[in-house]
Structure 1
Amino acid sequence: MGITKEQIKKALLNSGYLLEDRVNQVLNGSNWSTTPNARFKDLKTEIEREIDVVGYKYLDYDYPKMDTISSTLLIECMNNKEPIVFFENLAPLPSRIAALNFSVLNKAFWNILSWTQSELESKKEFIYSSQYCSFSRVQKLIKEFNDGWIALHPDIKHDSINSLFQYIQFQRIELKDRKNTNDFISGFYYRPLIILQGELLSVKQNKELEIKNQNHIKFQVALTDNNGRYFDIDVITEKYLPEYLNLIGKEDNAIAKMVEKHREKLIE
């Protein structure tokens, strides 16, 4: 006998597929174009991989030519059954545009992103973290320790984080020969994003251990493939996604104004 509809329903609810579909719908409803399960080649392993959802929207600014500078979201979705905890081991910093990863656009664009950030009226502070964990129940420890619950690393470091970084590297190679001219400027800048269906928590260790519910964490990972520099990833809850899109929408509008003002700096 094959699987029943009720069993299919339970299997889907236990997976991440429904979350990916909901995220895709929210993006489309907010005028983002999307590519679900975007395929790319991992340049280190030569193995084909995928990103759960890639969303993009072209910057809108007053210029008569057909420029296409894309604000791009690289999204990995996680249906985490147990909370994921990030440690507040870095001082809170003003919001920084996470898109310091780009292809095609020259290095002058780094300056445009920095200038934009300094001109934004709202500089909301976020929690920055470089360490995380989740939890698992070990059957043999149930009677011996903490009802069997232990803290451990979930698989986001080796899977989701690596996919987000390698996608950007792949795009850089694919587009390396494209040039910008006075008539036409094109390019992509990326915000890596992990969306959690379950709980997102922060932990701060002072005299007592403070554990708080969060909706948005700025996660920084030092990668050897990135010359040891931090690779910034936004980690948010599913319910926070509409607010997050509003936040980056303001950033993108500010970036568009700066691109319009300094467009000649992007011409090679």
Structure 2
Amino acid sequence: MEKITFDEIKKALIRSGYLLENRVLNFFNDNQFDAESSHRYVIDEVEGKFREIDVLATANLASNSTNKTNITLFVNFYVECINNPVPLALFCSYGDREEPTTDWAYNFINGSPQFLEFCSESFPQVIYDRQNEIIKSMPARQYCGFIMKKDKNIDEKWMANHPDDFHQTLSKLSQFVKIKKSDTKERWEEIRPDFTRLEIFIPLIVLQGEMIEIINQKELELKDIEYYRLKAPYEKGYNKSLSIDIVTEKYLKTYLDLKVTGLINMFDDLNSLINSNFE
């Protein structure tokens, strides 16, 4: 068997997404998150089928205690890392200017039935009031990539395409959020039943390469972007979508700061309502 050289190893790694995955893992760990990489999860126990998420990052962001209530905010980022040699293009969807609060994935776990009901009814309004602080893009429902045609002797050597691997990434993230929402609720239910957990689940794609926005109105306009949201199907029976955040690697720090600050502000708003109703 031919031995691979160090130079060939470096070239293989640079072409892959492993170096990006490693940088993203270290980034979350350096920012007070508990992060792990290459997390495997079961999709079929009978057939032994597994899938893998590149990076899982979890943090306890804030807590609030009163004489009657205790609640803690946990955020979970589920991250796929993509080394895209050509730009990912996202089509601006003008019919979705406002993100419905139902696009958010979260659980309230433990606490009295009265308290859980109050939180579940109050949090959508809190999201609505604060979400513009951390959502800095229009949503998209359509995307495309670009591929070079095999016949390089023609003038139009590039064509737009719908990359299957990116579609699989979206499906995997949506599926994983569903699994973790269920698993988290099952794991923590009845553990410290007087302490309520607000778990927020955020699917995220980090791109090593470029991303562009396509604005298709009177004229076709293209813009370089660093952050966008893509609405992916989540629950077919309820016509429910899940917003998946997409950022470039160089924007990741800014994105995380915006997200964490916004989530803490939301949590503070929720606690103001809690404190005024559960004195």
Q: TM-score, normalising length from structure 2?
A: 0.82
Out of 123, 137, 143, the position equivalent to 2:153 is: 143
Match in the other structure for 1:249 = 260
Question: Which has more strand, going by share of residues?
Answer: 2
SS for the counterpart of 1:132 is strand
Q: CA deviation at 1:208?
A: 2.5
2:87 is the counterpart of 1:83: yes
Match in the other structure for 1:160 = 169
Change (3 A) 1:94 1:231: closer
Q: CA deviation at 1:114?
A: 3.1
Moved more, 81-90 or 40-49: 40-49
Question: Contact between 2:106 and 2:181, CA under 8 Å: does it hold in 1?
Answer: yes
Unaligned runs of 5+ in 2: 110-115
Q: Deviations over 1:23-70 (max 9, x none)?
A: 111112211111211222226986211111111111313327885531
Alignment-mate amino acid for residue 84 of structure 1: L
Alignment-mate amino acid for residue 203 of structure 1: I
Match in the other structure for 2:113 = none
Match in the other structure for 1:199 = 210
Percent identity (aligned): 25
Alignment-mate amino acid for residue 71 of structure 1: V
Change (3 A) 1:121 1:232: closer
Match in the other structure for 2:112 = none
Query: Aligned partners of 1:205, 1:150: CA distance in 2, in Å?
Result: 18
Query: Aligned partners of 1:260, 1:49: CA distance in 2, in Å?
Result: 37
Question: Which has more helix, going by share of residues?
Answer: 2
Unaligned runs of 5+ in 1: none
Q: CA deviation at 1:190?
A: 0.7
Q: CA deviation at 1:206?
A: 2.8
Out of 47, 56, 59, the position equivalent to 2:58 is: 56
Q: Deviations over 1:101-144 (max 9, x none)?
A: 1245357446315314415784764121100000111212x223
